[in-house]
Amino acid sequence: MKFKRFVREQMFSEKEAKDYLCWVLVDRAADYYTLMMREDRHMQLRQLMKRMEQRFASKHLRETALIRFQNLALYAFEEDAGAGLWK
């Protein structure tokens, strides 16, 4: 998402966006990008980004964040309720 916005704001061409993506990727993501480009040098940026997201995006990120938030909210509530007992 962040990269897509950056590309749009910089008004990169398709080729410029793919080149920039290549330069910023590291480790496994860079290796995966190289494999995809070997497979199809003319792959469109949209398809490239979709495949990268499918490969590397956390499927449970939203649920994990929600659970953490709920746990923190419950902890804060219990702390406030417990503090009232000791006054």
* CA atoms of 54 and 19, how far apart (whole Å): 20
% of the chain beyond a pLDDT of 90: 20
pLDDT at residue 59 is higher than 80 = no
11-31 burial, b at 16+ Cβ within 10 Å, e below that, comes to ebeeeebbeebeeebeeeeee
Across the range 9-22, mean pLDDT stands at: 89
pLDDT surpasses 70 at 49 = yes
Is the confidence at residue 81, as pLDDT, over 70? no
pLDDT of residue 38 exceeding 90, the answer is yes
Both structure tokens of 17: 């966006």
